[in-house]
Amino acid sequence: HPFDRALRPLPLTQHKRVWALYLKFARQYNLPETAIRVYRRYVKLCPEDSEEFVEYLSSIGRLDEAAVKMMEILNNEEFVSKQGKSKHQLWQDLCHLVSKNPDKVTSVNVDAILRGGLRRFTDMAGQLWCLLSDYYIRAGHFEKARDVYEEAIQTLTTVRDFGQVFDAYAQFEESMINSKMESISESSKDEDLDLELRLARFEVLMDRRPLLLSSVLLRQNPHNVHEWQKRVALFEGKPREVINMYTEAIQTVDVQQAVGKPHALWVAFAKFYEENGQIAEACVVFEKATKVKFRNVEDLATVWCEYAEMELRHDNFSRALQLLQRATAMPAHRAEYYDKSVPVQNRLYKSLRVWSMYADLEESLGSFEVSDGLWWDSSVLGSKF
């Protein structure tokens, strides 16, 4: 070919002047195979123009080779886009190309590409999960697409990404229902059953949304007391699930890292048992709560006071007095009220809240002399704070 003969005698520094005309000639005629061969030779000399080759391949429908070439571009750490695109933008282009053309892109592992993007670009998690699901939907693998959606909503950590994926998931299920309804020509038992199954699946998905959203928020911060309380409320009317949620909450929340009041979970758990007539179980919860190393003395004081108030509600007055006596007992090793280096259990005896309740109860149930002494003790302790 004249262009080939022109290139042979020229030094490499002057090849670009010929290649510009050569590429223009190759694109001018409908000879894709010839043009591709020309471009392959050209990008070996000028790899910085690989994007131009990718664009040409895409324009003639050779998407498989375009995807392979884009992979080479991304794996080349020294590549700098002449169009000013970042690695992030090039990766986005590749993801869109492979996900929307499952029948034409066969030489690359699309699943691995998109999951690799999930690990590298966490800010695009919602978009990449949707692209991966869309790939399987376009390929006709609907169950696999559903599995991808389920995996996504169980692992996402931001509300924005969750909303994006959940909406796409719901739209997918809705399209499956519409498709089935349009394809039913005559009513048959099997088709009706399949339609009912799809409708039930869609309803269950919508019902799961609040719980799934709660999981996302707790993955952001598993020590958020308020979110755990909201999660428990979702199971109202289901005692077994409520107990499981409270148990999971108190096992998960680290009281030293907690956002909110961790003692509120213990108190609410005990009150749940109380409201259901299981006083013994409520006492077990309170007893365990009194041994938790809370950050503040007042958190532990609240637990003891709530414990005693529960006993009073059930007319166990002597038991309530015994509890407050235990709470105000002097520890073996005394400490200052605000000494954070000492467990709250060793500082509880200085809590005015516990002493006040103890004195009030003793005044109501015991003798005047004892209650007067308790008020005196509490005032002395209070003056030493």
What is the DSSP annotation of 219-266?
HH-TTBHHHHHHHHHTTTT-HHHHHHHHHHHHHH--TTT-BS-THHHH
Are 304 and 354 within 8 A, CB to CB? yes
DSSP state of 156: -
Cα–Cα dist 245/235, whole Å: 9
Q: Give me the sign of the Cα torsion angle 300, 304, 307, 312.
A: negative
- Alpha helices for the chain (secondary structure H): 2-7, 15-28, 32-45, 50-59, 63-75, 87-99, 110-120, 125-138, 142-155, 159-183, 189-220, 225-233, 239-252, 263-275, 279-289, 297-313, 317-328, 352-365, 368-383
Q: Which helix (H) or strand (E) holds 384?
A: none
How many CA atoms lie less than 13 Å away from 59 in the CB half-sphere? 12
- Residue 4 is predicted with a pLDDT of 57
Q: What is the pLDDT of residues 32-69, one digit of tens each?
A: 888 888 788 878 878 888 998 899 899 989 999 999 99
Which pLDDT value is given to residue 10?
52
Residues of the chain with pLDDT under 70: 1-19, 21-22, 185-189, 366-385
Q: Which two tokens stand for residue 44?
A: 């070996």
Look up the pTM and report it: 0.82
State how far the Cα of 80 lies from the Cα of 243, in Å rounded to an integer.
Answer: 57
Looking at residue 18, its pLDDT comes to 62
